[in-house]
Amino acid sequence: MHGVQQLISVGEFTDKICAAKDAQVDPDFVVIARVEALIAGAGQEEAQWRATEYAAAGADAVLIHWNQTARLNPFERSWRNGPTRFQWVVVPTTYYSVSRNELAKLGAKMVIYANHGIRSALSAIRGHVTVDSTGGFGRRRGARSVVCHRIFEQLQDVRRVSGLTPERLSL
């Protein structure tokens, strides 16, 4: 156990990767192995070793879970020059100010903006709505709202483009 997060053994994790790849039917199916060693406090060497093992076990990409950009540079350099080549995925939740281009220069092949939309939405809501002293809501002066029919139009566009139908959405 490292830090507050317990890591499963590399053997157990690579067995899961192998099982996923063995069960693969669709060639477009991708296995992304998430390395938690940095968040768990196990250190860079442990994270690099795990990433290399996961790639060797068949992971199509490796996601490095970390919350500081400064630590990404040494990883990228050592992995790019290492014996095992793999696709590198990042989730810049805490280093959101780093541009997609900067991450690409570091070698990231995929950038997942996991909660950026909800953070932006919350910021917009805070900028638009006030809560008065009685707990009621009011609009801030100058705040503009999107009219409801525009919201419904956007949702229809999303459904059309994604192919999502009410039938496909039912469980």
pLDDT digits (tens, 9 = 90+) for 113-134: 777 778 777 877 776 666 655 5
Rounded to whole angstroms, how far apart are CA atoms 77 and 81?
A: 6
C-alpha span between 56 and 106 (Å, rounded): 21
What is the three-class DSSP state of 1? coil
Query: Where exactly are the structural domains of the chain?
Result: 10-114, 117-162
pLDDT in tens, 60-108: 999 987 766 555 555 666 666 655 567 888 887 777 677 888 888 777 7
Let me know: does 51 contact 57? Beta carbons within 8 Å.
no
What's the Cα-to-Cα distance from 48 to each of 9, 142, 143, rounded to whole Å? Answer: 14, 51, 48
The tokens of 86 are what? 């793999």
Two tokens, residue 160: 């059309």
Q: CATH homologous superfamily of domain 10-114?
A: Phosphoenolpyruvate-binding domains (3.20.20.60)
Tens of pLDDT, residue by residue over 30-50, are 999 999 998 888 888 898 899
